[in-house]
Amino acid sequence: MTELVFTPDADNARAFRDALGRYPTGVTVVTVATAEGPMGFLANSFASVSMDPPLVLWSPAKSSSRFAHYAGAPYFSIHVLTNDHVDWLTRFSRNGEGFHGLSHEVTAEGIPVIHGALARFDCAQYATHEGGDHLIVVGRVIRAAFRQGAPLVFSQGSYGDFVART
């Protein structure tokens, strides 16, 4: 198989995106409280940063119509989706129904949280950093939860299941 070698620039934007897509990621819904009510945002830019202090990050796109809500949120929650949460993809995508009709709770910090996620990280905003067309949001984890299950995975423009190998 031939390897495609290129310089990431405007002329090769699609090739760069395709190369990035070769790295599978988990899928998350990041939730915040807003004046309009609870809001959720699909993101696959989640990563752990530090164990001490406990830090995680995610990166919302500056072009998002909901960007200001996430960039300025003092608290947020990152929900790692399971392979049976495919319906959450449309619910929390652009123009999706979001929290409408979805059972949820609100933490003491005011963060809307959804039960049933594979893992959940309730965070206080710790730092933000410029990251090109995205903002890197670092959160200090104030509470975490997890359960057994298989993660929903995104790779090469598609969603799928993770199959463990022994």
Cα three-residue angle 155-71-102, rounded to 5 degrees: 65
3-state helix, strand, coil in the chain (%, to 5): 15, 45, 45
pLDDT in tens, 135-156: 999 999 999 999 999 999 888 8
Dump pLDDT digits (tens) for 105-139. Answer: 999 999 999 989 999 999 999 999 999 999 999 99
What element of type H or E holds 139? strand 134-146
What is the distance between the alpha carbons of residues 16 and 126, in angstroms, rounded to a whole number? Answer: 30
Work out the pLDDT band at 161, boundaries 50, 70, 90. confident
- Per residue in 18-52, pLDDT (tens digit) is 887 777 888 999 999 999 999 999 998 999 999 99
Q: What are the residue ranges spanned by the domains of the chain?
A: 27-154
Rounded to whole angstroms, the Cα distance separating 80 from 29 reads 7
**Could you tell me the maximum CA-CA distance found in the chain, to the nearest angstrom?**
54
Rounded Cα gap, residues 34 and 38, in angstroms: 6
- Out of 3.20.20.540, 3.30.310.10, 2.30.110.10, 3.40.640.10, which CATH number does the structure's domain 27-154 have? 2.30.110.10
SS3 at position 119: strand
- Cα 124 to Cα 33: distance, rounded to the nearest angstrom: 12
